Amino acid sequence: MTRTTPRRFPFVIFCLLIPIAVSASQQRSTVSLTVAGFTSTLPAFTQRDILYASMSAFAKQASMKTYVDASRGKMEVVIAAHRVKLTAGNPFVVVIDHASNVIQHVRQLPAEVLLRDKEYYIPAQAFLPLCAELWKKRIDVDEAAGSIVVSD
């Protein structure tokens, strides 16, 4: 009697290639952040051709207050007279007037907010113009140079 065994080689190769493809699509890096003449680095990565920057680190370096509810995957950032609510896995951003506690508007980003290593990452090109509008500052994002510059 001859016993045949199923060919598992293609399946094994397929399983080995998946982590390589995932890591190639998420290139980890940093971008430089300049605020008030002080330059530092900001955790960032590119996924699906979108530059994600750490909102947690941006807020800290820009002296913005933040509140995090880790159990619900939510982050709130105080930008000038507004509270901005972000939720991991959700592309919607809620802007609330801080004084009246009334929702001013809801914006949909082209991609969701991501939570990686306890840091909230925002699609930089889409979110930072909103941040600039609320903060009454100019924010220039240069993906090619890997820099974000905040100026008055």
Write out pLDDT tens, residues 8-21: 555 544 444 444 44
Least confidently predicted of 18-27, 45-54, 121-130: 18-27
Least confidently predicted of 37-41, 55-59, 103-107: 37-41
pTM of the model: 0.78
Question: Please, what is the average pLDDT of the chain?
Answer: 85
Residue 134, phi then psi, degrees to nearest 5: -75, -35
- 139 by Cβ neighbours in 10 Å (0-12 / 13-18 / 19+) ranks as buried
How far apart CA 141 and CA 33 sit, in angstroms, is 9
How big, in percent rounded to 5, are the helix, strand and coil portions of the chain?
A: 25, 50, 30
pLDDT above 70 for 60: yes
Q: What is the pLDDT of residues 92-123, one digit of tens each?
A: 999 999 899 999 999 999 999 999 989 999 99
pLDDT above 60 for 80: yes
Q: Give the confidence band of 28 by pLDDT, cuts at 50, 70, 90.
A: low
- 120 by Cβ neighbours in 10 Å (0-12 / 13-18 / 19+) ranks as buried
Q: What is the pLDDT of residues 121-143, one digit of tens each?
A: 999 999 999 999 999 999 998 88
Q: What is the DSSP secondary structure assignment for residue 27, as one 8-state letter?
A: E
